[in-house]
Each structure stands twice: as structure tokens, then as C-alpha cells.
Amino acid sequence: MEVITVKTSRRIQMIDITAEVESVVRKSGIQNGIVVVFIPHTTAAITVNENADPSVKHDLEEFSKELVPHNWRWTHGEGNSDSHFKSSMFGPSLTLIVENGRIALGTWQGIIFAEFDGPRTRKVWIQVIGA
């Protein structure tokens, strides 16, 4: 397992980590199999979405704020209840196919780290498993 670090600078932020995950896959030497990307935090998540147009990440950030407002009537009193909910909506892990030593993503797809309670320094756990 490899661990990478992601530093965020805003409370809600989407960061493309495709290159970092691809680097771990290359370093593993595994040609065919899967890669699991796991976020060990309750207020951050991971997703796959378009990475060519930066407005997609912006729209994900802004819509998540409207969909799950920070000031809703949460009973959890730490001030980050919305972050827990957003994290659950996106999810803590991805399983992606590795083919010919590369992650099999669509033309416009990228791996997006989703921060919902920043700014913080986060860990991303990556495990590459051969077929």
C-alpha cells in the first residue's frame, strides 16, 4: 500500500489526483489488475468525473454547498455535520481497472479528491492488486 498526501486550502475543494494515483500504479509494476483508492477521513471523499474542464470541479463544489447546507438544523454539534453527509454521498473509495500498466479511465475522466472540511492535510491510501 502507498500513501499520498493531499493539502487543501479551502473548506470545500475538489482536487485532481489522477497523476499521483497513476504514479503509484506505474511504480507497482503491475500490468493488469485493479487499484483501490481509499480516503480514511469522515469529512473527505473520492470520485471520478471530468478533469478537462475546471468548471466541473467548481460546479461540484458549489452544488454540494446548495444540496447540503452548512447551516441546516444538524443535531451533530461539531460544526462539520454537512461535511460528514457530503462525504457519505460521494463515498470513501474507488476501485479502478489497471490495464497495460495504466488506469483505465475514459477520455475525459480523472480521479477527484473531495474535501468538505478544510483546509487540511489529508491522506489517500492506494493499493494496486495484480490480476
pLDDT in tens, 15-66: 999 999 999 999 999 999 999 999 999 999 999 999 999 999 999 999 999 9
pLDDT confidence of residue 22: 98
Query: Which residue, among 104, 108, 95, has the nearest Cα to 57 in the 3D structure?
Result: 108
pLDDT confidence of residue 113: 98
3-state secondary structure of 49: strand
DSSP 66: H
Fold of domain 2-130: Jelly Rolls (2.60.120)
pLDDT confidence of residue 61: 96
Beta bridge partners of 109: 50
pLDDT confidence of residue 77: 79
pLDDT (tens digit, 9 = 90+) per residue, 76-115?
878 999 999 999 999 999 999 999 999 999 999 999 999 9
pLDDT confidence of residue 14: 98
pLDDT confidence of residue 19: 98
3-state secondary structure of 108: coil
What integer is the mean pLDDT of 120-129? 98
Q: What is the pTM of this model?
A: 0.96
